[in-house]
Amino acid sequence: MTLPLIEPDLDLLLQRRSLIDVRAPVEFAQGSLPGAINLPLLNDEERRQVGIAYKQQGQKAAIALGERLVSGAVKERRVAAWVEQVNHHPDSVIYCFRGGLRSRIAQQWLYDAGVERPRIRGGWKVLRQRLCRQIDMAAERPLLVVSGLTGCAKTRLIHQLDNGIDLEACARHKGSAFGRHPLTSPSQIDFEHAMGSALLGVEGAYVVEDESRHVGAVNIPQRFWQAMERAPRIRVEMPLDWRLEQIRRDYIDDLWEVYQNQFGEWLGWSLMKKQLSSALARLKKRLGSERLARLQRLQSLAIAEHEKGNPQAHEAWLAPLLSEYYDPMYRYQLEKHDQEFLHVGDWHSCLEAAREWSLDRSEPLKKDAVKQ
């Protein structure tokens, strides 16, 4: 009986197919395919033992050891987990690292349990290569970068565009000391996979927000970063009071909503307070002790007021943080790079400029694609 194989097509990700990753948890944590669920054939310790047997005694001995380790009730539980996943998601496909032995064994055990599902030819490795290739190909396409002072709602502008790529969402980080997400940061591999998946849905030109090479704990891939460095830019300019309101929404209101949903009211509030105070403390070297102490006092007062139902109180410390730290830093970067901008204006005019640029750059690419 030859069990079915499915080609490692990126449409599997576009279609949001259910992916069963049968690699060990340690492998899954290092990087998985977007949307995959980890239901391993071997746990970490079993994988370690089988790996030693393979190196010392060869494949046949390793397979025999694996069959001894995963047998009886252990095997029944693992097969039951796969069957349950397939019952909830009948379009599920199976993969391991290279689409070889582990996914084939899982596929066979599922078949023996009365369920037939395909495995991905080439497995995780081939699909990862194709996702990374998406990023490299994107580096050769027209790209527009949206710049502006902190609080100019550049991310919101990106979300208004069909061809906008939110790198901060891929990194689960807003790109500043206060931008840490309550959930765990992705691995570098998972960040690259999220980028590749986001680019899958965009034809022609695309638009990103101005970022440093490092976004939180991850790095923008080199070729893509070089494309961003040489790309044309537009700059959003908004007054301080407008930016303050936006910053409060991003770093206070939205943050509180996530913490509350993830951890509940009491623990969520405690964790958010800790994040805000820690983020400010990390700026000590650049702010200096005296200015940091002043901002910390204002932040403590704002948190106390927030507890009473007044989140707007945070603007008392956010305003000097913007005007004394973030704004001078951004202006220094502008002077350093001597950048020219295709358009400079308010948020709405920049949105229209980005749309016009996208249309002008995307139409020729689409026509070329039709000719080919």
The residue length of the chain stands at: 372
**293 φ, ψ to 5°?**
-60, -40
Domain 5-125, CATH class in plain words: alpha beta
Helix (H, G, I), strand (E, B) or coil at 310: coil
User: Can you say whether residue 24 is alpha, beta or left, with left for phi > 0 and alpha for psi between -120 and 50 degrees?
Assistant: beta
Find where tokens 């097509």 sit.
9
Domain layout of the chain by residue ranges: 5-125, 139-366
* pLDDT digits (tens), the chain, 372 positions: 688 999 999 999 988 899 999 999 999 999 999 989 999 999 999 999 999 999 999 888 998 999 999 999 999 999 999 999 999 999 999 999 998 889 999 999 999 999 999 999 999 999 999 999 999 999 999 999 999 998 999 999 999 999 999 999 899 877 665 666 666 789 999 999 999 999 998 888 999 999 889 888 899 999 999 999 999 999 999 999 999 999 998 888 988 888 899 899 999 999 999 989 998 998 888 889 999 999 999 999 999 999 999 999 999 999 999 998 889 988 887 777 667 899 999 999 999 999 999 999 876 655 554 444
Instruction: Please indicate whether residue 96 is annotated as part of the active site.
Output: yes
Q: Among the options 96, 152, 170, 350, which is catalytic?
A: 96
Torsion of CA 100, 101, 106, 111, to 10 degrees: 80
CB atoms under 10 Å from CB of 32, counted, come to: 22
The pTM assigned to this predicted structure is: 0.88
Distance CA 43, CA 23 (A): 8
